[in-house]
Chain A
Amino acid sequence: MLHKSPVTSTSTATVGKDNKHDSAERHIKGTALYIDDIREPQGTLHLAPGYAQATCGKIKNLDLSAVRSAPGVVAVLTAKDIPGVNDCSPAMGDDMILADGHILFHGQVVFAVVATSHLEARKAARLAKIEIEETPPMVTVEDGLEKDASVLPPYEFLTGSPDEIIKSSPNQIVDSFHIGGQEHFYLEGQIAMAIPGDDGEMLVHSSTQHPTEVQHTIAKMLGIQDAAVVCECRRMGGAFGGKESQAAQWAALSALAAYVTGRPAKMRLDRDDDMIMTGKRHDQACHWQAGYDDQGKLTAVNVEFNSRCGCSADLSLGVNDRTMFHADNSYYYPASRILSRRVMTNTVSNTAFRGFGGPQGMVFSERMMDAIAIKLGMDPLDVRKINFYGDEGRDVTPFGMKVQDNILDELVSKLENTSDYRNRRKEIDAFNKKSPFLKKGLALNPVKFGISFTLKHLNQAGALVHVYTDGSVQVNHGGTEMGQGLYTKVAQVVAEEFGIDLDHVRITATKTDKVPNTAPTAASSGSDMNGMAAKRAAETIKERLIELASKLYQVDKEAISFAHNKVKVGEQEIAFAELTQQAFLERVSLSSTGYYATPHITWDRETKDGRPFLYFAYGACCAEVTIDTLTGEMKVDRVDILHDVGKSLNPAIDIGQIEGGFVQGMGWLTTEELVYDDQGRLRTHAPSTYKIPTASDIPEDFRVKLWKSNGNREDTIYRSKAVGEPPVMLATAIFSAVTNAIASLSPGQVPQINTPATPENILRSVQDMKKRDRKAGA
């Protein structure tokens, strides 16, 4: 199962190579430092959060006397201790760092214990007596809808007159299903350590995707200038969106403890607390109807997504907008209404999760394709293909952007062949006829994912490159490393630019005092933006070096080039390190910033007009599953993936993103089930009850290939494409294959099934099909 690099540009020495993750050796040795591994400064204190057992209501009485007198306790923080603004929200000002007066969900932090050890803090936190005047919680989306509760106004895309067209179409379908949420389950839980400095300054190590936001939150909380706070993040032990906005609260609490006590303070959430107190992927109730002709071609689509946002807005605007931007997935909707309601509930505020709402949009469109195919008795792949975006007239999305870089016809045909889709379809039909209990299903689903932040101002990045006189290079940029290999890719870009070996480039921790005012590392845009910013910084220095060499050696600038750690100056070659020495002696600056703002983005949310994405990333996945109709158990037998990353910056890392993203998406749609009780308390708050995929869940036969691309048609960094999120949605093929397997029980009937396809959901759907089959037969 070894993967060979299919994309190797002849013109690059470092870019496009299978370089190892910059920390790979430290990972396998256990020497990569995560925040909890950094040697603590003497006297470091530890925090633990405290919360009420109730879900929502007014705090009647908060008795912390037992907490304060518990062993090791140095301080107990409440909202009163906050000198500035009690808010850790990304934008709307509606997320309290510490509850003040009311609680809105089970697990909301009411106080924080500061103690001399982690264990003492945790033990003390359980001694609080919190009396809540409880009000009945809104737990489900339906509860919220009933009370007309929302965190943000609804938003809608409308093209044509979908309702009328559906009515007059040859065929109509109406359906509802529920799309489950997902816990991030980053292996390293939320953590931060704050170290107080001179004159009220604060250095905060935070496991965050958004150091700038952590900096701003802390400055605002303490009532000090942004310039007095530095946030640093060398690496995260996974994030997946869960540390985009929701890392801030723990960093803020650490900083508050450091501010109150004058001592370094660290907060590491226990896994259960982490799962109870931090948001998840938005689960959504999806109601839709569609019209289509006898060939399965859509005439119009009307879909509404009712999204459980939880108790505050957090990133729900962007997340749910992206559900809408991807409700078409790869398909042309001649007329459509796409509505998203951002429902408020008394549950933890849901947040970014790899795909950022896109997966929910796509799982709907794929269910629609499956349903139409079942109704018409067609192969689902044929229905998909007939609805793909096409030429002029069939190339405009429901939000008005033209799809101009579509490669799905070719890509899907290729995968159809290499996966042997048609033959396997026949084999599966034969198997299902003979097998009494086990049924197989097959699906081949496409992905089209828009790249760029849909919030325009986030599409900017900065970098800082230092060349030292010995020829070594230090790179810093605004992106954070969460395992995705961003640091490696950016280092490759800089090494490429200077024509030096990768091990001469050292990439250092992301830090707000090196590169300020950064965007979060999100929206798959990390290497697109930071790679470009770093390239520009390197180019600036390189231009200075060329000018210098041209002057010193009296050769034309065009005759100067950089490769193999050397600089070719006309006919002669000098070591790169020699030229950098000369630069110092000649008083030429060897340091530069670089800046990049993604071009061509014109989206205006108010007018619903313009172009939200620079380009689309494409991929497709063919999945085969077997279900057990007696128990609902399901096994993924084989998966073939073909995915487009443009000209890959690093094929090994890209393959890793594709495989990992796919498996994470598979978990979302199969075993990962969030269960809340009727009081809105999460019952699945540890890996013992919340089941992410393990080694045996991945398909035994797992074939992942990169699309042989001529490069991104947009001028991205070395013509590569973003890869972080799109592969997650390849997993819709698993859900479609399950649907396909269940549908074999009663041809023509669309199985009712929600995600995730747990054994219970599959068995319920199977039994429902059998009932309907009996009725139909009677």
Chain B
Amino acid sequence: MRQSVKFLRDGEVVELDNVDPNETLLDYLRLREGSCGTKEGCGEGDCGACSVAIGSLKDGKLEYQAVNSCIQLLGMMDGKEIITVDDLSDSSQARRSGELHPVQDAMLRHHGSQCGFCTPGIVMSLFTLYHAEIEADRNTINDQLAGNLCRCTGYRPIIDAALESCTGKAEDRFREDAKARTTKLNELDDKEDLFIGNEAKFFAAPASTETLASLYEKHPDAVIVAGATDVGLWITKQLRDLPKIIHIGRVTELQNIIDNKGEIIIGAGVTYAHAKETLATIDPDVAEIIRRIGSTQVRASGTIGGNIANGSPIGDSPPLLIALNARLTLQKGTQSREIDLENFFIDYGKQDRKEGEFVSKIRVPKLAENEVFRSYKISKRFDQDISALLAAFRLTLDNSKITQARIAYGGMAGTPKRAELTQKALIGIDLNAPETWENAVQTLEQDFTPLSDMRASADYRMEAAKGLLIKALHEISNGKVDQQGKQTRVIGARANDVREAV
């Protein structure tokens, strides 16, 4: 068992044995290191001013991802490389080279900064895009920047800088010595359980499910942290003291994604970023919903398991997964059980999780030949917003007749919930006869009594929920969307899907 956190900074290993379980990465950078290039804008992982790049090995290859350092715990950095804006041009190495990084150079030439406060975060976000080694188009850049708010420029010059600099090939000094960095990261991956502190106050990052299970059984009052995109805010906003933290990011078994014939199995530690590609094979709408969860930074650290386990009524993935009839595996000690995901959510803030029990994996069935799927998210802002409501529809069709319906909504009740009566009302409906839809649409009023809050009023939620059902039926009946004059969405148009033509 290791009693220190180790990570790479400026190419060198840093080892710390004094890590408070609640210490954030941003505080470490600014207060301990005195590296003040990275800024705090909101302290809740929403504005991106604190973005830094985290290097880690994915299938043996060095990968850089932007994260919000304000809500990442320092202990979670174990085994990773941390690159901040200071490293690009103000570290000892950068000073020696004297050159600007290509993304910095492009930002400079395109007048991409005004007040400059968001700029370091934007530079780091673009740094990771640069290292993705793809020819970035406008949509990719929009996605990459969704978690970097800029209040001055209106983004155009930043987008131009990204278009110009992120063209597919990384040729910076980080790429040049990627091999050395990879070797060092491999060395840091010692498969040892990490535990800093004492029985009353600790940061732990077990390396196996067994240690995780036994540690959590012993300390059921500990807080399990996967990506900290929620727990981070308990610390920075609620100012809670969380004396016992168990981080699951180093448990290899929980990082697996298994793509079987009829289902996809996702480990609880898999981030949205890593799950997206596989889940996208279920339906393009699944990909679009995941694209719109949080920001690039949030998806790089946040996990589907975490989104479920924290039981948020506004979580975007649960309604989607409930409509897909996903099942959840919960583990306690050496025992595990499997339940339907929808039964996990008992009430607002209450889940079917026993003391010492943790979510280990999620099984997501794929669609059958005669099933179609639609999902929509409604929020005030398209990107990086929490949904006012989210709807997911899975319909089984016999030609143009609906034979089965599985519909789930988020934001319409205290928990993500199925529209039981509406499902029934849909059975037997002919998609070719829109005049027969109205009854089912109105039935939503019997299924839900939504609440009003700062995101939307109860009335709006209900009216939009109906609108989305109409939209789904309309799209499916059309088979093809985006036909001339039949475009049905202002953003996120689906690719034509001939299979669904009725």
Q: Which A residues fall within an 8 A CB radius of B?
A: 1-2, 18, 20-21, 23-34, 36-37, 39, 119, 122-123, 126, 184-189, 235-240, 270-272, 431, 434-438, 482-485, 626-628, 630-635, 652-653, 655-656, 659-664, 671, 673, 675, 683-684, 686-689, 691-698, 700, 702, 704, 758-760, 763-764, 767
Minimum CB–CB distance for A753 against chain B, Å: 14
Could you jot down 18 A-B contacts, CB within 8 Å?
A2-B110, A18-B111, A25-B100, A30-B84, A187-B41, A235-B116, A237-B117, A435-B487, A631-B464, A634-B490, A675-B454, A686-B42, A691-B385, A694-B383, A695-B142, A695-B146, A758-B380, A759-B464
Q: Which of B39, B114, B463, B467 contacts A188 (CB 8 A)?
A: B39
A695/B41 in contact, CB under 8 A:
no
Once bound together, how far apart are the Cα atoms of A21 and B117, in whole Å? 14
B455/A689 in contact, CB under 8 A:
yes
Once bound together, how far apart are the Cα atoms of A633 and B379, in whole Å? 8
Q: Which of B118-126, B267-275, B318-326, B349-357 has 4 or more CB atoms under 8 Å from chain A?
A: B118-126
A656/B151 in contact, CB under 8 A:
no
Minimum CB–CB distance for A444 against chain B, Å: 19
Known pairs A30-B38, A238-B151; A697 contacts B115 (CB<8 A): no
A671/B115 in contact, CB under 8 A:
no
Q: Which of B115, B120, B457 contacts A235 (CB 8 A)?
A: B115
Once bound together, how far apart are the Cα atoms of A502 and B183, in whole Å? 47
Chain B window 151-177, contacts with chain A (Cβ cutoff 8 Å), 1 for yes, 0 for no:
111111111100000000000000000
Known pairs A483-B115, A663-B155; A630 contacts B381 (CB<8 A): no
Known pairs A689-B455, A697-B381; A28 contacts B487 (CB<8 A): no
Q: Which B residues fall within an 8 A CB radius of A?
A: 27, 30, 34, 36-44, 46-47, 49, 84-86, 88-90, 100, 104, 107-108, 110-120, 123, 138, 141-143, 145-146, 148-160, 237, 239, 376, 378-386, 388, 453-457, 459-460, 463-464, 467-468, 470-471, 474, 484-491
10 extra interface residue pairs, beta carbon distance < 8 Å, beyond A30-B38, A630-B468 = A27-B113, A27-B116, A27-B120, A30-B37, A31-B89, A122-B239, A437-B488, A675-B454, A688-B44, A688-B386
Contacts of B484 in A (CB 8 A): 434
Once bound together, how far apart are the Cα atoms of A29 and B156, in whole Å? 20
Known pairs A663-B154, A673-B380; A37 contacts B490 (CB<8 A): no
Q: Which of B88, B89, B111, B388 contacts A21 (CB 8 A)?
A: B111
Q: Which of B30, B89, B151, B381 contacts A186 (CB 8 A)?
A: B151
Once bound together, how far apart are the Cα atoms of A235 and B385, in whole Å? 30
Contacts of A189 in B (CB 8 A): 41
Contacts of B157 in A (CB 8 A): 656, 659
Known pairs A25-B108, A188-B41, A271-B43; A696 contacts B146 (CB<8 A): yes
A483/B152 in contact, CB under 8 A:
yes
Contacts of B142 in A (CB 8 A): 694-696
Minimum CB–CB distance for B288 against chain A, Å: 13
Minimum CB–CB distance for A137 against chain B, Å: 18
Contacts of B43 in A (CB 8 A): 270-271
Q: Which of B117, B453, B464, B491 contacts A683 (CB 8 A)?
A: B453
Minimum CB–CB distance for A4 against chain B, Å: 13
Contacts of B470 in A (CB 8 A): 630
B152/A431 in contact, CB under 8 A:
no
B115/A760 in contact, CB under 8 A:
no
* Pairs A-B, 7 closest by C-beta atoms: A30-B37, A483-B115, A237-B117, A27-B116, A434-B485, A630-B467, A663-B154
Interface centre among A628, A631, A691, A760 (most CB of B within 10 A): A631
A631/B467 in contact, CB under 8 A:
yes
Q: Which of A30, A656, A763 contacts B114 (CB 8 A)?
A: A656
Once bound together, how far apart are the Cα atoms of A675 and B468, in whole Å? 25
Once bound together, how far apart are the Cα atoms of A169 and B217, in whole Å? 81
Known pairs A434-B484, A485-B114; A760 contacts B457 (CB<8 A): yes
B88/A694 in contact, CB under 8 A:
no
B156/A687 in contact, CB under 8 A:
no
Contacts of A434 in B (CB 8 A): 484-486
Chain B residue nearest in CB terms to A188: B117
A763/B463 in contact, CB under 8 A:
yes
Once bound together, how far apart are the Cα atoms of A436 and B470, in whole Å? 12
Contacts of B143 in A (CB 8 A): 696
Minimum CB–CB distance for A665 against chain B, Å: 10
Once bound together, how far apart are the Cα atoms of A482 and B114, in whole Å? 8
Interface centre among A126, A238, A702 (most CB of B within 10 A): A238
